[in-house]
Every structure is written in C-alpha cells, then in structure tokens.
Structure 1
Amino acid sequence: MPISRREFLRRSMYATLGGVSLYSGLGSLRLAQAAVLQNNYAFSDYKALVCVYLYGGNDSFNTIVPYDSAIYPVYAASRGNLALAQADIQANNLLPAALAGGLPGGPPSDGGSYGLHPAMPELRGLFNAGHAAIVANVGSLLYPITQQQYQLGLVPAPPQLFSHDDQTTQWQTSRPDDANANGWGGRMADLLASANANPQFSMSMTLSGTNLFQRGAVVNQYAVDPGGVEAMSYLGNGPESWVAGGTTDDVNAYNALIRGPAPSNALERAFAASTSSAIDYYTVLLDALSQASAPTTAFPDTELGNQLKMVAQLLQIRAKLGVSRQIFFVSAGGFDTHDNQLAQQQGNLTQLSQALSAFYNETVALGLDQSVTSFTASDFGRSLAVNSGGTDHGWGGHHFVVGGAVRGQRFYGAMPSLLTTAAGNPNDTGYGQIIPTLAVDQYAATLASWFGVSAGDIAGIFPNLGRFNAPNLRIFG
C-alpha cells in the first residue's frame, strides 16, 4: 500500500535511530533549530577527554581500600563479609607522592595507607608510575553540606538521591537544580566546536549509544560502533522494511527526501538534517578509518576494551576529521551490586583496569599521552553499610583520572570516615551512605579547564561552581 511522505519519514526515523552513524538526541527539536554559537576559541594543540561511565554505581570503598593497622579494622567492621583481605590489599598498595610545597594532592587526607582491589594491578601500576590520580568522595551536590545540615534539612540536597536515573542525570549534567539541562560535555562542545577546523563534524563521539553527558544545544553526539562504522541500511539494500524491493529508485527517493527542499514540519526537518549529516560523516569516517593502522597495544576483548580500542583508532584520524578538541563517551554496566558483589565486582574492576591501562599505553604509542585524559564517572558511590551479599545505592564515591598530563600518584580531596553508622560516622547520612565532600561541578570544571575552557566560560557552564571553595582541584600540572 502506498505511504505518505510523512509516514515514510516517521518509519525511517525509527529505523535509523537504531543505527550507529546518526546524531542522537533527535527528540529535542531545539537542537536542530539552534543557531551556531559564536566564540573566540582557537587551539594550536590537540586534546581529548574520554568519559568512562560505570553504570549502576561502583562500590569505590571496595575499589580503594585501606590496609594499615589503624584504618583497616575500621573498614573491616563496616564491610563485614564484603571486607577484602588485608594482605591482598597491601600486596596491591598505592605509593602516593609525598606532599610538596605549593602543590595540591598527595597522600590520603586521613593519613592511611591504601591499595587497590586485587583485580586492578594495571591501574595500580599507572598510579604508582604517576599517570593516574584518585579524586576522593565526589558526588552530586547543590551546596557543601554536613551531616547535621543534611539530617535537619538546613541545606538543600539534590533531589531524588539514591535513584539511578536521577543521579545519572545529575552526574552527566552537573545540574541537580535543572532536570532539563544539557550534559556538561555537551555544553563544552557547544562552546568550543567552532575552534575545530571542521566545526560541522561533531566534537562529541559516543562508543556506547545515546547519553545525556554529550547532549548539547548545538553540537550533538555522533555514535560509532566499537566494531567500526556501519552504513545506514538503505545505502545499497534499500529500506525493504517498509518499501518493497529496495531498488536504486528507493535510494534516490530517500535522498531526495532528506536533501531536498526543507520540509515544513519541524520533526521532518530535524530528521532530514541529522540523517544527511550522518551519511556524510559515515563516508568521511569510513575512508579515514580504512587508512588507520591497527593499535600496537593488545586491548582486552571486553565491552569496555573494544570501545576504547575504537577510540584509539579514532584518535589516529583526528587530522583527517579536522578536529583539535574531541569528547568521547564509553561505558560499562553491571555495577549495581546489591548481591553477589565480591564475584561481580571482581569481573567489573578487572575489565576497567585492563581497558584503561591498554588505552593509556596506546596513547603513549601514538604520542598523545599528554593530550588525552580519561576519567571515571558513575551514578553514585555505594553505601558503606552492607546487606547480606552486596551494597545499596549510596552518594559520594572515589574516581580515577588517567593521562600523561595528570599530576598523578596523588589523592585529591578528603577521604571520608569508614566508621559504621552506629559508631558515629560523621560523613554518614544516617543510613550508611557517605555524604560527598567534592561536587561533580568541581571535578568537571577541573577537567574543563585542562580542556581549554576559560575561567569565565567555566562559570557559565557550571553556574553552581561558585558555591564551593575549590573551583579547580589542580589535578593537571
């Protein structure tokens, strides 16, 4: 049965949104209608930020663990049957740089000795070599807040704490006060995109599907599959799912629809513009990647390893894409460990450690270790308190920043108390969750500053940053 032009586009949109070569976030029509931002940025160097998102909420208190005789017993009392063996942690000890006059960071603020989970020898090696840093007790915040202020409601806390969806939104936007905000990665891309030689090619590339972190008002994310760039199905095969045959005429008709006169309907215009761009970018990427050499580093054949392997290949073709700034998004799931945590986290952290290490080593091989910074993010930290076999949704947690430009081998921020709730932990909400002492804004603004965003524009991207006493954690040398 013949179908209308509008129906054809509607069905086509559903099909192409599942593809990997299409700008995502099409539902927000203002993205297609917004004017290009004007700014004065120009860069003579290259830099890339790689967000490594751990979906589900990583238990950082079993990731970075004390082993000294003073703090380990406190940790063990709180963790119960989830406590890792003291000898195993000591065998994976971290060797932080000594305090140095005028420099931030250094040993853990509580004076303890810490090691990494035994599944993370590769990341431990990066830290001890000075190529990774730990940022302590970061979380979504509206204002600095103490235990008493939280419990008595004297200072506003972010809404819907301990909810996966809400806290993921707040981590990826840094705006607990604005549920409709774009991502902080997307806001940076909007600001800096015109500095790229080819500003029409998206600064934001995702290897893990649509994400809020990269959603912008002008620049939107371009999705690439970890296995390579795939053509939209109509290119060569025709849209057989709704038009019989899939002949050349179908392809020509489809091209006429997306590249012809602008439709009157806003949704059709947005779809046509996004699809046209996706097809053009597909051609450019396919050609450029065909000339890229295989990575010299052996990447683990895991979800995260394969994503970062493709990021490394995309780094090779940066000049062909005409970009001096890029923002990548990769992710791993399975961190919502309400039960069976010991076994599940073993696998999760093995994957994270091996993938981050391989990716860093490949940036060294590419001569880009000073130009590429990877950082972790997650829904929230998990509760210090445990249930029978796992942990519950928490709040503050520790994160890793990896790269040659990082002032590594240091802890930044304040390590929280590991006392049980009953023992009077001053950092506890009262239910086993740890109150953050660093805001996502501070963590994100520090990365934005290294990326080249000016202090004035950082204040615009992170309007709540002025509420906190350290707008830049000085992680970079």
Structure 2
Amino acid sequence: MVVIQLTGGNDFMNTIVPYTNEHYFDARKKIVMDQSDVIPINDTLAINKNASSFKDIFDAGNMAIIQGIGYPNSNRSHFRGMDIWHTCEPDKVGNDGWLGLALRELDPSSENVLTGVNIGQGLPRAMAVAGVPVTSISDLETYGVMNSIEKQKLKEKSIQAFKDIYGQAIGSGKVSEYIGKTGLDVLKGADMLNEVAANYQSNVEYAENQISNNLKDIARIHTSDLGTKIFYTSQGGYDTHANELPTHPKLIRELSNAISDFMDDLEEHNLSEDVLILVFTEFGRRMKDNGSGTDHGSGGGARFCLVKMLKVDCIPITHLLIQEIGNMEKIFKKYN
C-alpha cells in the first residue's frame, strides 16, 4: 500500500470539477475551471485537464474517485484535521497511527525494519505506534550511516563502534534498550537499502520534482523485494489561500504524472496488481473563492484509490454532496 498525503488541504472542487453545476460557477468568480479547463468523466463531473493522467488511469478502470468524505464538527484546522486522519479518532486526540497499528499486525515481532517506510522528513503520525519500527528516508541516494567517511576501512571501524555503543544498551533498562534497538534498527535498514539504488533498472523517466522523486524511490525499494508492506509520502503546497490558479494546477499536474509514471514502473516490473495507492488530504476548500484563492473547508473532499484491475467505470458512490459557501449557507445537491 502506498499512501500519498496532499498537505495543506487540496481544493477537490478544482480537481474533480462539478462542471455543469450552477452553484459552482456562482460561488467562484475568479478561481473557476470552465469547460475548456476540464475533461468530462460523466454528465456532472470532470477532471481538471492539468491532471489529465488521472483521466487515462480512470478510463482504464484503475482509479476510484470517492467523494463526500469528512468528519463531523470540523474546526478547519490543519493540525486537528491531520490528527483525525492519522489516528482515525474524530472524537478525541488519539495516540496510535492507523498505519502503525496495521504494521504491528503485519509484523508483530518487528523482525523487518522496512515493513513500513516513509519517504520524506520525520515520521508521519499515521505510522507512529510505540514499538513499531518505521524507516524514514529523505533521500535514498544519500541514505545510510557514516556516509561522509570516504575511506572504507575507517568507515567500517566507525560503523562497528556505532554497533558496539548501541548494542551495550540492550538489556540495560527500558529507555536505554529502546534507544539501543532504534540505533541497531537504523544500521539494519541502511544495510538492506545499500544496494537498492545500484540494482534498480527502469525504462520509465520520472520528472524532476519532489513527488516524482519520492514515488521513484518507493518503486526502487518495492522492486527490490525487501518486504515493505506500507509506504508513505507527501506532497505539500495545497494551502491555497492565495495565488491558487498558478499553484494548484502545477501541483495536480505533477501529482497525476508522478502517479502515472509510478504505475507504469510497476507494470514494467510485473508488480502493478500488487499495489494499492491511496491519496488523501486533511480537508477541502470552501466553495466560494476569496479573490485569488480559497479558504479552509469542512470536508475531506475526494479521495483517490488507484490499483490495476480495480475496474470501476463510474464514480462508485451515491452521496449527498454538501457544497459549502462561506461559513453560513449550505446547498445540498444530489450527485449520481
């Protein structure tokens, strides 16, 4: 499973556009996608043409667009929104990440430090559970221990000293043991990943941007068959209070092209039926624009699930879409 977080609150109304809905055009005077800006998928909804790669994936039956997702009593906070999606606890502040709990079930003994891998800085809260190792990689090319030491013998001695220091902590108390195990897990993961970059081969040419690079690194690890079950990565920049039209189209173009390249890479390695991609964001944006952007909305908007052989030929959900205009007025429109 590959989870992609769109950080900042994606404007799903300008991603999956209600291009025949009068309320959309009434509410958006500046930040609007007209019919020349979209690619219809049915009589009511269209994909922003900047995300045209999604249309190709959708037409192949390999993408589901799931709408109307949110949680009650939203306060439109990035932090609370991410808390809820990462822990699946809408009524309280949760401690355990939902993916971390899944990792614990997948590898109860924590034998493989690469069962869960995050491509990016830090550790996503969704993957955080006490005692569950997760490897975070900001750059696969430079990932490792003592990489700044050029002389091989000196590097080997330094790594051995590192192992000895952390090994001594095992069995000397809970805190010390936790620190020691963490250090040894880092070494173990680095050893396993050491040959990934050198062994990876692909005819797919990824673009040079962050989300493309991250998905390429995921492909490199997954095709190396290191036992990773859950990958996580993110794409930032979606908090489009201002300058949305130059910013948002660029982001969704990079995202859709990166996912398309990633799926092509999996296909080339005969792995396309083994991977589910989930794309989510903390909330959507408001229906009414603010002049050059859109402010925080109260819904999660659309989610994307992508996997070969999904074989959906329409949006697979009947729902009541709440179109929010400002803070006050709500218009209810039956879709599908």
Question: Residues 363, 248 of structure 1: CA spacing in aligned structure 2 closer, same or farther, 3 A cutoff?
Answer: closer
Structure-1 separation of matches of 2:79 and 2:50: 28
Residue 334 (structure 1) shift: 0.4
Structure-1 separation of matches of 2:224 and 2:162: 30
Equivalent residue for 2:71?
140
The equivalences for 1:104-143 within 5 A come to 112-141=43-72
Contact 1:237/1:247 (<8 A) preserved = yes
SS for the counterpart of 2:69 is strand
Contact 2:114/2:189 (<8 A) preserved = no
Structure 2 unaligned blocks of 5 or more: none
Q: 1:366 aligned to 2:269?
A: yes
Residue 184 (structure 1) shift: 1.0
Question: Residues 264, 205 of structure 1: CA spacing in aligned structure 2 closer, same or farther, 3 A cutoff?
Answer: same
SS for the counterpart of 1:119 is helix
SS for the counterpart of 1:425 is strand
SS for the counterpart of 2:145 is coil
Q: 1:207 aligned to 2:119?
A: yes
Q: 1:409 aligned to 2:313?
A: yes
Equivalent residue for 2:30?
81
Structure 1 unaligned blocks of 5 or more: 1-48, 96-111, 142-156, 239-245, 429-436, 438-477
Q: 1:298 aligned to 2:205?
A: yes
The equivalences for 1:2-151 within 5 A come to 49-68=1-20, 71=21, 73-89=22-38, 92-95=39-42, 112-141=43-72
Structure-2 separation of matches of 1:64 and 1:340: 19
Question: Residues 247, 360 of structure 1: CA spacing in aligned structure 2 closer, same or farther, 3 A cutoff?
Answer: closer
Question: Residues 417, 395 of structure 1: CA spacing in aligned structure 2 closer, same or farther, 3 A cutoff?
Answer: closer
In the superposition, the TM-score normalised over structure 2's length comes to: 0.88
Question: Residues 283, 390 of structure 1: CA spacing in aligned structure 2 closer, same or farther, 3 A cutoff?
Answer: same
Equivalent residue for 1:228?
141
**Which among 195, 198, 208 is matched to residue 287 of structure 1?**
195
Structure-2 separation of matches of 1:262 and 1:225: 28
Question: Residues 412, 254 of structure 1: CA spacing in aligned structure 2 closer, same or farther, 3 A cutoff?
Answer: same
Structure-1 separation of matches of 2:133 and 2:93: 18
Bigger strand share: 2
Structure-2 separation of matches of 1:330 and 1:135: 20
Residue 114 (structure 1) shift: 1.4
One-letter identity of the residue aligned with 1:208: G
One-letter identity of the residue aligned with 1:281: G
Residue 331 (structure 1) shift: 0.7
Residue 164 (structure 1) shift: 0.7
Contact 2:16/2:45 (<8 A) preserved = yes
Question: Residues 212, 186 of structure 1: CA spacing in aligned structure 2 closer, same or farther, 3 A cutoff?
Answer: same
Q: Deviations over 1:405-428 (max 9, x none)?
A: 424332133251547469953459
Residue 256 (structure 1) shift: 2.1
SS for the counterpart of 1:416 is strand
Equivalent residue for 1:98?
none
Residue 235 (structure 1) shift: 7.6
Equivalent residue for 1:393?
296
Structure-1 separation of matches of 2:124 and 2:236: 14
SS for the counterpart of 2:203 is coil
Percent identity between the two aligned chains: 22
Contact 1:88/1:118 (<8 A) preserved = yes
SS for the counterpart of 2:330 is coil
Equivalent residue for 1:180?
94
In the superposition, the TM-score normalised over structure 1's length comes to: 0.63
Question: Residues 256, 62 of structure 1: CA spacing in aligned structure 2 closer, same or farther, 3 A cutoff?
Answer: same
Equivalent residue for 1:471?
none
Q: 1:377 aligned to 2:280?
A: yes
One-letter identity of the residue aligned with 1:302: N
Q: Deviations over 1:23-80 (max 9, x none)?
A: xxxxxxxxxxxxxxxxxxxxxxxxxx11110000000011111233xx2x22100112
Equivalent residue for 2:167?
259
Q: 1:269 aligned to 2:200?
A: no
**Which among 219, 232, 235 is matched to residue 132 of structure 2?**
219
Question: Residues 193, 235 of structure 1: CA spacing in aligned structure 2 closer, same or farther, 3 A cutoff?
Answer: farther
Contact 1:226/1:309 (<8 A) preserved = no
Structure-2 separation of matches of 1:184 and 1:248: 38
Structure-1 separation of matches of 2:278 and 2:159: 42
Structure-2 separation of matches of 1:360 and 1:402: 9
Residue 81 (structure 1) shift: 1.2
Structure-2 separation of matches of 1:304 and 1:203: 21
Structure showing greater radius of gyration is 1
Q: Deviations over 1:117-139 (max 9, x none)?
A: 12111111111121111000212
Contact 2:41/2:47 (<8 A) preserved = yes
Contact 1:376/1:401 (<8 A) preserved = yes
Structure-1 separation of matches of 2:51 and 2:147: 44
Residue 226 (structure 1) shift: 3.9
Structure-1 separation of matches of 2:162 and 2:323: 61
Equivalent residue for 1:469?
none
Contact 1:77/1:420 (<8 A) preserved = no
Equivalent residue for 1:9?
none
Structure-1 separation of matches of 2:327 and 2:197: 57
Q: Between Structure 1 and Structure 2, how many residues are aligned?
A: 329
